[in-house]
Amino acid sequence: MRVVALMLRPWDPRDAGQLRPPLDDPAVRRSTSPLPPHAWIASQTAEGRHAFAVLRDGAIAGHVVLKRPRPGQWEVGYWTAAHARRQGVAGWAVEQITGWAFARFAMASIALIHDVDNLASCAVARHCGYLLDAELPPHPSYPQPGHRHVRHRA
């Protein structure tokens, strides 16, 4: 049996060397700022964000972030590196950050928003107990229709 060790830790500028393949992936570029690795890491440590590298056996396998786009509103975001997909990485990471967020902050709920055609992201939302809350029409910043899922504090 192979035991896989998953861990979250804050992004570090020294992770930049491992970030080129995931940040160049068109699927990831749809979901995060298209920046070179060092600038991308700096953008993730901005105020109002709690962003973590997902490490699998010590190597970068993904990203998960808790954002506060507006006061009182919280949202989770994520990506998994292509080589690590469909192996439970995002489901694990979103569950971890959700539990941490409800324990640390006083929010009543966290939102998860994805393009309607992003079936993988919809599956992650369902897997982590984020229930479909609304269908969102296209918006200048988000040209595709979307799904808003919400998980409420237990």
Ligand X SMILES: CC(C)(COP(=O)(O)OP(=O)(O)OC[C@H]1O[C@@H](n2cnc3c(N)ncnc32)[C@H](O)[C@@H]1OP(=O)(O)O)[C@@H](O)C(=O)NCCC(=O)NCCS
Residues binding ligand X (CB under 6 A): 27-28, 31, 78-80, 85-91, 114, 118-121, 123-124, 127
| Cβ nearer to ligand X, comparing 77 with 102 | 77
- Dist. CA 142–CA 20, nearest whole Å: 24
Two tokens, residue 100: 């941490």
- 84 Cβ partners below 8 Å, 6+ apart? 56, 61, 62
> In whole angstroms, how close is the CB of 136 to ligand X at the nearest point?
12
> In whole angstroms, how close is the CB of 96 to ligand X at the nearest point?
12
Burial of 108 per CB tally in 10 Å (0-12, 13-18, 19+):
exposed
> In whole angstroms, how close is the CB of 3 to ligand X at the nearest point?
17
- Dist. CA 4–CA 21, nearest whole Å: 22
> In whole angstroms, how close is the CB of 135 to ligand X at the nearest point?
15
The answer to whether 134 and 83 are in contact (CB under 8 A) is no
| Cβ nearer to ligand X, comparing 102 with 149 | 149
- How many angstroms separate the first and last alpha carbons of the chain? 34
| Cβ nearer to ligand X, comparing 23 with 41 | 23
